[in-house]
């Protein structure tokens, strides 16, 4: 029987998956800022919960919420991460209209989400609404040429315009009005971006 990657991830302990997914050449922008004082963090597009677990490990004092529009991924995230964390939860929500209270979070994370989203500007707008003034948004994307195989030029222009312009940071920055850039890192096909809400 052929097992899908998702099925393998559901059967695998979260710690093992995090170690398997780690790459020594990836530079994570979150490692360069102090997240120790974060009290409430949100992981938008958490998928199977691995990025949420990583965020929790980097913000040990924080309560962390992972959200995703795919209910099956939320259920899998709960199974993968388990019940060992009182201050870590997963909720089925729409990233464009979460229904969460405004100015609530110290940090909002998008990991491998915005460059795949149909409406990244709306997701960023929701993050802006959810962040308290001075809160941080962390964007972390890994883009590979494999993601582009088989796409038409119209699809490339709509969903991956950063490949057309070859300026991925600038492409994302245009959606972040109301934020001040704090940090960005680029290494090959990986970039990280940290911005502070005014």
Domain spans of the chain, in order of start: 26-197
Cβ contacts of 142-148, under 8 Å, gap ≥ 24: 142/26, 142/112, 142/189, 142/190, 143/115, 143/168, 143/189, 143/190, 143/191, 144/189, 145/189, 147/116
**pLDDT > 90: what percent of the chain?**
39
pLDDT per position as a tens digit, 98-153: 999 999 999 999 998 887 788 889 999 999 999 999 999 988 876 555 555 555 55
* Model pTM above 0.75: no
Task: Give the span between the Cα atoms of 180 and 172, in whole angstroms.
Answer: 13
CATH fold of the domain at 26-197: Rossmann fold (3.40.50)
Beta strands at 131-142 and 190-197: parallel, antiparallel or unpaired: antiparallel
When pLDDT is cut at 50, 70 and 90, the band that residue 156 belongs to is low
β-strand partners of 111? 140
pLDDT per position as a tens digit, 47-76: 999 999 999 988 989 999 999 999 999 999
């Amino acid at each position: 029987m052929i097992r899908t990657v998702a099925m393998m991830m559901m059967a695998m302990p979260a710690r093992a998956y995090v170690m398997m997914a780690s790459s020594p050449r990836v530079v994570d922008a979150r490692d360069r800022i102090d997240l120790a004082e974060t009290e409430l963090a949100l992981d938008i597009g958490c998928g199977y919960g691995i990025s949420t677990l990583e965020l929790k490990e980097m913000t040990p004092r924080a309560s962390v919420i992972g959200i995703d529009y795919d209910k099956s991924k939320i259920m899998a995230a709960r199974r993968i991460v388990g019940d060992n964390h009182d201050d870590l939860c997963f909720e089925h929500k729409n990233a464009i209209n979460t229904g969460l209270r405004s100015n609530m979070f110290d940090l909002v994370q998008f990991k491998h989400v915005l460059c795949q989203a149909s409406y990244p500007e709306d997701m960023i707008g929701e993050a802006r609404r959810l962040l308290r003034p001075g809160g941080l948004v962390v964007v972390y994307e890994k883009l590979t040429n494999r993601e582009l195989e088989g796409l038409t030029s119209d699809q490339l222009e709509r969903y991956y315009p950063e490949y057309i312009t070859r300026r991925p940071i600038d492409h994302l920055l245009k959606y972040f009005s109301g934020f001040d850039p704090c940090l960005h890192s680029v290494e090959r096909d990986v970039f990280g971006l940290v911005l502070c809400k005014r």
